[in-house]
Structure 1
Amino acid sequence: MNNTRVAQNLTSSRAAVKKQNRLAWFEEVLEYLKENGYDHILQDPVRVFKGDETAFFLNPKGKRVLAAKGDKNIYQQINNDEKECLTVLITGNASGQLAPPLIVFKYERIPQGLACSVPGDWGIGKSESGWMTSALFYEFLTNVFYPWLVVQNITFPVILFIEGYTSHVTLHSSKFCEEKGIILVALYPNATHLLQPMDVAVFRALKENWKGKVHQWRIKNIIKGNIPILKKRDFPPLLKEVLDETITPKNT
């Protein structure tokens, strides 16, 4: 029986990815790990990590609400820029442990009040576009991820699967990881829509819980009937609540 579904946009480069190419990538990665004596790491979920970036909207679309019968339009008050979002690099291992995230802000100089709202062990970065850069990823590896691995007493080497963006695969990052026992493995290019290591199991749940948490925050902070607007300084502590409630061994 056929079902009606919404078609997803797919670029020609993504559409050209063949199953045999993906299978060959898996074989190539496994062969590399075997040749270097790293394949046993795959049997230890604590040492297998995946890092990926995602955007969180400050004004996520609302969930279903009760309304009077016959009402055609239901609104919620939001910021002037309904598409404003923040990029967050989230890294976790196969056992359900979450490394401190990195939040990227679109600032030349991050306001002190905003910086103070970010949990102390999290990464905080800035770029002109608000997106990840090679310098920020390197800072994350050196100042956040590696120190966290040491504090957690996780056995080296570890495997870190990443997207093969130029902001990730750089000489400085590669050299640092080689020295510290972090094996960087870039996913097969133009195939993240098929592999989706974190999109389905982690990000989908995060985004749903984020919508609910923002809605609860708005209701909790209503002043004299006025619904508050979520500011950037409100984002880090609220995201921490969502991460703490969502990331569990069950969905990683």
Structure 2
Amino acid sequence: MVRKYIRKTTSKYTKEELDIATAVMRNGKITLADACRFYRIPKTTLFRHAKGLSGIKSSSKGRSIAIPLDIESNMATNIKTMAKWGYGLCKKEIIIAMKQYLEKNSIKTPFKNGIPGDDYFLNVKRRHNLSQKKPQSVEVARKRAADPFVISQYFELVQEVTHNMPPDRIYNIDETSFCLDPSRVKVVGQKGRAAHRVTAGSGKENFTVLMGGNAVGQKLPPLIIFKGKSIWNSWMAKSDEEFVGMTYAATANGWMENGTFSNYFQRSFLPAIGNGRPAALIYDGHVSHISLNIVEMALKENIVILKLPPHTSHLPQPMDLAVFKPFKLKYDNAIIKWQRKNYGVKISKQQFSTIISRIWHELDPQMIRSGFKKAGIFPFDNKVIPETTFEPAALERFKKSKQCPMVPLPTDAIYAQSALPNFSIESALGSIPIENAIVEQSTQIEKVSKITEHSFEAVLLEHVKQESNRGKSKRKRVCPGAEVITSPEAVTKLQKIEYDKRTKTKKGRK
């Protein structure tokens, strides 16, 4: 069977002309011969349609499709809705769902064993603008945290904190992991055969590096964290190859810890930013970044610390948006060059420090400025995150709240309200009053039927029916959204947490 058939002949008449000619002939206003000459329609075709011996079953020139177009359109609309809500189905799941729907509704088709084939699936994709693609893996926490209420609150805090503040005093820091073996740069080889790149390690050893800068592109000295108990001079880059002010640390697991970050803030960040005050520092709310000691130092130095909303660093974090990807690509190229000249030799910590220092020194400051621009921090832009990032239902609730402002609530109530409620696919497709949630995608369909026992929506719900998670204890949120952790409320909260820790420790010792 030809999958992409292209018609080589063109008709001299349209469907509208055929309908008009048929109606005129039935009314007796024109003869068959005159209608054939005037509308340029073959005599046999016009005769059959005028006498009702045949009719047009499809809008196309060929035979009608196996499944009626309105049912097929409803299926495609539901598939698009599932993908938008994060429940994208693969080809096999869609074909099985179609088979179950056809069986339950006793719809006769020419499919073998009632299962649609590859050719039919390809035509469905073409008719309804569908495509198969590699899905982007998104954690459920990130999916729920990308809530317009949370993001809107964050940008309000950014505007409040950075109002009339020079861009050279707005800073962002973040840490990332670097593998000792290259993995990003592709190689060219013979088609049909695997290509290899020999490395000295297993590809699982990583080092953590903290980097940052301000809105005008000035770079902060990086912090390299190794796995170990002490720092040795053989791990550090040579003085003439080292970035000015670069610092080093060692932890048990090679990750950032509270004490490590506190030392970096005091001994590296504060000297690097100079005496320009007030200043603003934006970073994620990892547990190692938040402590009473850091907040007290920031308040003493007149620095406002703004914590990003949880699980949203991929959206408003400048270093994530524009710096880390090109930096790691340059790092991979540098590692590849070094390994070619040192075949089978494991890269040393000192060489790693030297490469990081050199790339950070050569990095274009425009990349850091672009990160702040993409994040909407400077120049300030609270609409920099596209609406397609948010879930449709949450975005609709947010727009309605803007049209009809609600009565201001206490801070804790606002935090609770901004959290995204528990989501299930039943609420997306079948629950009242969101029963017709599929209508947002149904511009091609004049009417969408309610979900019934044998509807295609019900078949899809069987595939994604959620299991009950009973017996799990509820957790209490400490920082549900964006927060200025140098505010009096946050300081009081941190002091209470520190007091509770000390009290519990004393009781345990007794």
> TM-score if structure 2 supplies the norm length?
0.44
Give the CA deviation at 1:116: 5.3
Give the CA deviation at 1:62: 5.3
Partner of 1:126: 250
Partner of 2:159: 30
Q: Would you say 1:159 and 2:280 are equivalent positions?
A: yes
Moved over 6 A (4+): none
8 Å CA contact 2:285–2:309 kept in 1: the answer is yes
Query: Within 5 A, what are the aligned runs for 1:29-108?
Result: 29-31=158-160, 33=161, 39-41=163-165, 44-61=166-183, 63-67=185-189, 69-70=190-191, 72-108=193-229
SS of the aligned residue for 2:289 comes to coil
Q: Deviations over 1:14-54 (max 9, x none)?
A: 222211221122214434x3xxxx6211xx22111100010
Larger RCO (alpha carbons 8 Å, 6+ apart): 1
Q: Would you say 1:193 and 2:317 are equivalent positions?
A: no
Tell me the distance in 2 between the aligned counterparts of 1:139 and 1:4. 49
Decide which moves more: 107-116 or 54-63: 107-116
SS of the aligned residue for 2:185 comes to coil
8 Å CA contact 1:53–1:89 kept in 2: the answer is yes
Q: Would you say 1:183 and 2:304 are equivalent positions?
A: yes
Q: Would you say 1:20 and 2:149 are equivalent positions?
A: yes
Paired letter, 1:16: R
SS of the aligned residue for 2:254 comes to coil
Larger radius of gyration: 2
Tell me the distance in 1 between the aligned counterparts of 2:284 and 2:134. 26
Decide which moves more: 226-235 or 198-207: 226-235
Give the CA deviation at 1:251: 4.5
Tell me the distance in 2 between the aligned counterparts of 1:182 and 1:5. 45
- 1:9/1:144 CA distance change after superposition, 3 Å: same
Give the CA deviation at 1:99: 0.6
- 1:124/1:64 CA distance change after superposition, 3 Å: same
Tell me the distance in 2 between the aligned counterparts of 1:247 and 1:95. 12
Q: Deviations over 1:187-232 (max 9, x none)?
A: 011212332322121001111111111112223x34xxx3543222
Q: Alpha carbon RMSD of aligned pairs, Å?
A: 2.1
Match of 1:243 among 360, 382, 389: 360
Give the CA deviation at 1:164: 0.7
Partner of 1:112: 233
Match of 1:149 among 267, 273, 276: 273
Q: Which has the higher strand share?
A: 1
8 Å CA contact 2:235–2:348 kept in 1: the answer is no
Partner of 2:330: 209
Tell me the distance in 1 between the aligned counterparts of 2:154 and 2:331. 34
Partner of 1:231: 348
8 Å CA contact 2:315–2:321 kept in 1: the answer is no
Give the CA deviation at 1:63: 2.0
Tell me the distance in 2 between the aligned counterparts of 1:210 and 1:217. 11
SS of the aligned residue for 2:314 comes to helix
- 1:233/1:5 CA distance change after superposition, 3 Å: farther
Give the CA deviation at 1:97: 0.8
Match of 1:139 among 259, 263, 266: 263
- 1:127/1:196 CA distance change after superposition, 3 Å: same
Q: Deviations over 1:62-104 (max 9, x none)?
A: 523343x356122222133311111011011111111101111
8 Å CA contact 1:62–1:215 kept in 2: the answer is no
Tell me the distance in 2 between the aligned counterparts of 1:167 and 1:203. 21
Tell me the distance in 1 between the aligned counterparts of 2:344 and 2:227. 25
Q: Would you say 1:7 and 2:7 are equivalent positions?
A: no
